[in-house]
Amino acid sequence: MLQHSRVSTGQKEPTDINKLADEYLRLSYHGMKAKDKGFNATLKTDFDASIGRINVVPQDVGRVLLNLFNNAFYAVMEKKKHVSDGYEPTMSPPFVYPQESLTTKLKFTCMTMVLAFLQK
C-alpha cells in the first residue's frame, strides 16, 4: 500500500504525464475486471494537452497513480454494492498544470475515502 513512499533510485526523465496516467488508469481498470468479472466502469479522460513532458521518475509516479486508481475503483465497487440499480461508476482523472507544480484531481462518483474513514 505504501509502495510510493519507498526511496527511489530512479532517474528523472522527461515524461508525458498524460500518457503515463492513461496507461496506469487502464492497468488498474483491467486489474479490477480480472478480480471481479462483473465490474464495469466508464473511463473518461480529459487530459490537458498543454502539459507536455515533465521531469519525473516514471516508475515512482506510476506507482502513486496505480495506488490512487485502485483505491478509486475499489470505492466505486463498494458503492455499487450499496446503492440501487442505475448507478454507473465513472472514473475521470483530469490533470492540471498550474504554474510550477503538477496537481491531479480524481473525480469519481463514489464514496470518498474520508467519508469511509469517518464512518468507521
Give the separation between CA 103 and CA 17, rounded to whole angstroms. Answer: 11
pTM to 2 decimal places: 0.73
Domain limits for position 64 = 3-119
Count of domains for the chain: 1
CATH code for the domain in which residue 111 is found = 3.30.565.10
pLDDT at 91: 81
pLDDT at 46: 79
DSSP letters along the chain, please?
--GGGSPP-PPPEEEEHHHHHHHHHHHHHHHHHHH-TT---EE-----GGG-EEEE-HHHHHHHHHHHHHHHHHHHHHHHHHS-TT---EEE--EE--TT--EE--EESS--HHHHHHH-
| Residue given cell 464514496 in the structure block | 111
pLDDT at 7: 52
pLDDT at 66: 92
pLDDT at 5: 45
pLDDT at 34: 93
| Residue 75, C-alpha cell as written in the block | 470505492
Per-residue pLDDT of the chain (120 residues; tens, 9 = 90+): 344 445 556 788 998 888 998 999 999 999 999 998 888 888 888 787 777 788 888 999 899 889 989 988 888 888 888 887 778 888 877 666 554 455 555 554 444 444 444 444
